[in-house]
Structure formats: C-alpha cells, structure tokens
Structure 1
Amino acid sequence: MTKKILLAGGSGFLGESLAAFLSEQGFTVVILTRGKARQSGNVRYVHWDGSTLGDWTREMEDSWAVVNFTGKSVNCIYTQENRAEILRSRLDSVRVVDQAIQSCERPPQVVVQAGSLAIYGDTRDVCDENAPHGTGFSVEVCQRWEEAFFAQKLPQTRKVLLRIGFALGKNGGALEPLVKLVKNNLGGTVGSGKQYISWLHVDDLNRMFLAAIEDNTMSGIYNATGPHPVTNREFMAALRQVLGKGWAPPAPAPFVALGAYLFMKTEPSLALTGRNCIPHRLTKHNFVFHHTNLEHTLRDLIN
C-alpha cells in the first residue's frame, strides 16, 4: 500500500509541482481544492472549502502527511477586503486542518505548512531563522499565521513550517511574468535594484518538502530558499543574459507603482521590496541543493 499525502490548497503552481514530484516518487497524492472533485492522472482532487469540516476529513485518516498551501494569493491590490481575505484564508485553513487531524484515529505523522520569507520585511541584512521580523501588513499576516499554526499541539503529528522564497519553475509561478517583461525589452532594474531576491529552484523546494515529511528530526521553522540570494539588479541582468537580451531601461519606483496598480492590478511593494535570506537550518540538516547558480538555473528552466 502506497503512502498517501494530502496537499491542502494544492491546486496552485507550487502545489501542482509538488503533486507531480510526489507521484513520481510513488506516493498517492490527494489535493484538497475549492474546485470540483476529479481525477487527473495519478492525482485525485477532493472538494473542500478551506474553513469548515466536511466529507474531505475522511481523507485525513491513514494519510502519512499533510502539506498546507492554502491562502489567498498576495498578488493583488491590498484593499481592505483583500487584506481581510488574505489573513482569513490562512488562519481558517490552519484551524480546520488541526481540527481534522484531532478527529483522526490514525492521524498523519507530520503536517508541513507553506509559509513566507515576507516575515522578515524589507531588509538587506542577512536573515536566518532567528533574524528579527520586519514591519507592515505582510509581516503581520505571517506572524499571526505562524502563531496559529504552532498554537495547537498535536501529540502524534509533527509540525514543520517552511518560509518559502522566490520559487523558480517552468510554466508559471514567479518567473513567468519576468520572462515576458524581458522578452518585450522591459526587463531592466526594478526600483533601486538593491532589494534582494531570495530565490530557489522549485525542484529543490519539492525536495525540501519531502525532507520535512520523511525526516522525523525536522520540526519548527525553516527558511526554504537557496543559499545564494541576489539583488534585483543581478537577477534581471542574469535573466536578460539567458534570454539573449541586452541592456533594458530601468523602471524607477514611481513608474513601477503606477504600472502595478493600473496594469498588473497588484501591490507595488511585491516588486520594490525584498529580503536577503539564507537556509541556515536546512544546511545544518545537511540538505544538498541541486541548483545554486542563478544563470544555470534560469537556463535549465527557460531553455
């Protein structure tokens, strides 16, 4: 009998990538989705609403692990309504997953929560897991999210939270819009260009999730990012190099803000802020990165 892993809210870019990876490793994968129940290849989709108990809780029984990706995308304008939903969707899913696990006779041995490096705020200082938190809305969301995740102790279920960086992968995710900009000769430095991008290859991220699931010595908080963060200026230069593009005009912060609100319909701070994070605890666990060179990683994903 193969081991079953539940991916709560796993129908987005990172969840689908992890589902494919785990299926290749021989696991049975069930995605909890707000969409319709269905079967796609080796992955089964089960409907849930992300906030209340229901028939989906049967999937929790005898599952080996749960990975929770649930939460409204932060890629939006931070209206009062969107702010409320960003926070509510995260807190509700953490609460209901805990409730479902508590109702199990044979609960999963681990629950892995997908978190965010945004908790460190906008900083150029090197941030390991013990670095001070920043300020602002995104930081407050992360803090309340993490507090909710660790608030409830589950006697038979280990808890791991991965603060995920700028995950690079094919066919979607954070890289796709940047590639489009560069192809249209708009891939210059964004804002000051000094803001850091803590990047990692999605394949390494998938292996981090698997390590958190399989290694019963892992618990608590880990920075899920690569070992070599770069500035926005360095990242965009590498991307232009890979795509065979020369110099491109920079985008000053006021123009970025205007374009974010008018055309991208998103918050400009997502492009204008950054953080310089390192995976200190994963390194201590002897995690081996397969992708540490940015240009090689971009060539692998784009070409």
Structure 2
Amino acid sequence: MNKKIVLPGGSGFLGQSLALFLLNKGYDVTILTRRHSRVENSIRYVHWDGRTMGDWAKELDGCYAVVNFTGKSVNCIYTEENKKEIIRSRYYSVRILQKAIQSCEQPPQAFVQAGSLAIFGNTRDVCTESSPHGEGFSVKVCQLWEKAFFAASLPHTRQVMLRIGFALGRDGGALEPLKKLAKYNLGGKVGPGNQYISWLHIDDLNSMFLKAIEDKSMGGMYNATGPQPVTNKVFMKTLRKVMNKGWAPPAPTPLVWAGAYVVMGTEPSLALTGRNALPQKLIDEGFTFQYNNLKTALSDLLSG
C-alpha cells in the first residue's frame, strides 16, 4: 500500500497541482473538502467543515503527512465580514487539525502548512526568514496564523510552514489575470511598478512541498519563493515579451483601485503592494530550483 498524504483544503489551484504531483510520485492522496465525499482522478475526497471533529479525523491516523491549504481566499474585497472569515478559516482549521493529530494512534510524521510571504508587508527591502514583519491586516493574519500553527505540542510530528510567494502555474492561479491583461494589450506596469513580485514556478513549489514532506531534517519556517524576485514593471515587461506583445499602457494607481473594486471584486492592495523575499533557508539547505529565470519560467508555462 502506498503512503497516504492528506490535503485539507486541497480543492484549490495549489492543492490540486500538488495532489497530481504526489500521485505521480506514487503517493495516495486524500483531500478534505467542504463538498461531498467522492473519488475523482484517483484522488479521494472526504467531507469536513474545517472547524469541528468528525469522521474525517480518521484519515489522519496512519497517514504519512498532512499538508494544509485551508483558508478563505484573500482575493476578495476586505469587508469586515470577509476579514473575519479570512482569519477564522485559517485559525480554526489549524487548531482542529492539531487536535486530530494529537488523537492519532499513529500520527503523521509531518504537518506542513501553506502560509504566506505577506507577513513582511509592503516592502522593497530584502526579506529572509528572520526579517522583521510589516504592518497592516495581511500581516496580522499571518502572525496569528503562524502563532497558532506552532502553538500545539506534536511530539511525533514535524511541523513546517512554507510562506508561499507568487506561484506561477498553468491555466489558473495568480498568473491568469495578468495573462488576460497582456492578451488585450493592457499588460503595462501596475501602479508605481516598483513593488516587488516574489515569484516561483509551480513545479518548484511542488518540489518544496515534497521536500517538506520527506526531508526529516526540515522544521520551522521557510520562505517558499524563487531566488530572483523582480519588480512589477519587469514582470509585466517579461510577460508581454513571452506573449509576443508590444508596449502596453501603464495602469495608474487610481485606475487600479477602481478596477479592483468595480471589475475584479478584489482588494487593490493585492496588486499595488509587494515584497522582495528570498528563500534563504532552502538555498542554505541545497534546494535545487528548476526555474530561477522569469522568462524561462513564463515560456514554459505559456507554451502550447
């Protein structure tokens, strides 16, 4: 019988990508979902609510690792209710998973949490794992999230949190809206254009998750991003080049605010802020990146 990996909240873009990656590596994959239980494409889906104990907890007993993706998407307008749910969905899922692991007769050897680089706030300074945190709502969310994740005692289970950057994947995810802008010749710099994008290729992110699952020396906090962040201006210029698009008009900050709220239904700060983060611990531990050049990464993702 193959080793089983459980992915709570794994129905989204990143979770689905990792699930297929793990299947190809010979693992069995179970996703905990708020939808109905079923089997699709060799992946078992088991219902849970992300907050309370239930039959789903049995899936963790004897599994090899848990990788938690649960949390309301930050790609929304930050109303008070949405902000509360962004915090609650992350906090409660972490705590109930800890409780489930503590109740296991055979607990998983690794508990990996998908976190966020947003903890560094909006900064152009180089950010490694030990850099100071920023300010604002997103920073507060990350701080509460990380504190909750490392609060419980799990003596038989390694805990690893990956602060994920701007993950570039195929047919969805963070890259999709930028592709659409470039397609319609609107792919100029966004706002000031000097905000950093700490990007990484989805294949490298999946390899980071696999390392966190399998490498028994890993523990604690890691920046999960590529080694060569770029500014928004450089990112959009490179994207246009790969898509064979010429010059495109910039999107001034007032237009970004209006477009985000009215057209995209999301928070404009997601496009207007950034951070210059490096995966220092992964570099120090010898992680090998398949893609450390943005043009090469985009060419791979947009080919065919």
TM-score (norm 2): 0.99
Partner of 1:298: 298
Shift of 1:41: 1.5
Pair 1:171-2:171 in alignment:
yes
Pair 1:70-2:70 in alignment:
yes
Partner Cα separation in structure 2 for residue 7 and residue 112 of structure 1: 10
Partner of 1:214: 214
Partner of 1:145: 145
In structure 2, what residue type is equivalent to 1:147? K
Partner Cα separation in structure 1 for residue 101 and residue 82 of structure 2: 29
In structure 1, what residue type is equivalent to 2:194? K
Partner of 1:255: 255
Partner of 1:21: 21
In structure 1, what residue type is equivalent to 2:64? W
Deviations 1:22-79 (A, max 9, x none): 0000000000000111111221100000000001011011000000000000000000
How many residues are paired up? 303
Partner of 1:288: 288
Partner Cα separation in structure 2 for residue 42 and residue 198 of structure 1: 33
In structure 2, what residue type is equivalent to 1:299? S
Partner Cα separation in structure 2 for residue 300 and residue 173 of structure 1: 15
Deviations 1:149-204 (A, max 9, x none): 00001010010000000000001000011101100111000000000000000000
3-state DSSP class of the match of 2:71?
A: coil
Partner Cα separation in structure 2 for residue 96 and residue 18 of structure 1: 22
3-state DSSP class of the match of 2:191?
A: coil
Partner of 1:52: 52
In structure 1, what residue type is equivalent to 2:207? R
In structure 1, what residue type is equivalent to 2:236? M
Partner Cα separation in structure 2 for residue 269 and residue 262 of structure 1: 14
3-state DSSP class of the match of 1:250?
A: coil
Partner Cα separation in structure 1 for residue 283 and residue 108 of structure 2: 26
Shift of 1:122: 0.2
Query: What RMSD in Å do the two structures reach over aligned CA positions?
Result: 0.4
Partner Cα separation in structure 1 for residue 227 and residue 153 of structure 2: 31
Partner Cα separation in structure 1 for residue 295 and residue 286 of structure 2: 24
In structure 1, what residue type is equivalent to 2:60? M
Partner Cα separation in structure 1 for residue 42 and residue 207 of structure 2: 19
Partner of 1:131: 131
Partner Cα separation in structure 1 for residue 214 and residue 118 of structure 2: 26
Partner Cα separation in structure 2 for residue 154 and residue 260 of structure 1: 41
Deviations 1:254-295 (A, max 9, x none): 110010000100000000000000000001111000011101
Deviations 1:101-133 (A, max 9, x none): 011000000100000000000000000000000
3-state DSSP class of the match of 2:159?
A: strand
In structure 2, what residue type is equivalent to 1:252? P
Partner Cα separation in structure 2 for residue 2 and residue 277 of structure 1: 36
Partner of 1:91: 91
Partner Cα separation in structure 2 for residue 22 and residue 167 of structure 1: 18
Pair 1:268-2:263 in alignment:
no
3-state DSSP class of the match of 2:118?
A: helix
Structure 1 unaligned segments of length 5 or more: list them: none
In structure 1, what residue type is equivalent to 2:159? K
1:107-118 paired onto structure 2 within 5 Å = 107-118=107-118
Partner Cα separation in structure 1 for residue 41 and residue 26 of structure 2: 13
Partner Cα separation in structure 2 for residue 80 and residue 136 of structure 1: 14
In structure 1, what residue type is equivalent to 2:294? L
3-state DSSP class of the match of 1:143?
A: helix
In structure 2, what residue type is equivalent to 1:2? N
Partner of 2:245: 245
1:33-48 paired onto structure 2 within 5 Å = 33-48=33-48
Partner Cα separation in structure 2 for residue 124 and residue 142 of structure 1: 19
Partner of 2:7: 7
Structure 2 unaligned segments of length 5 or more: list them: none
Deviations 1:1-27 (A, max 9, x none): 210000010000000000000000000
Partner Cα separation in structure 2 for residue 137 and residue 45 of structure 1: 32
Shift of 1:135: 0.2
TM-score (norm 1): 1.00
3-state DSSP class of the match of 2:150?
A: helix
Partner of 1:121: 121
> What's the % identity of the aligned pairs?
66
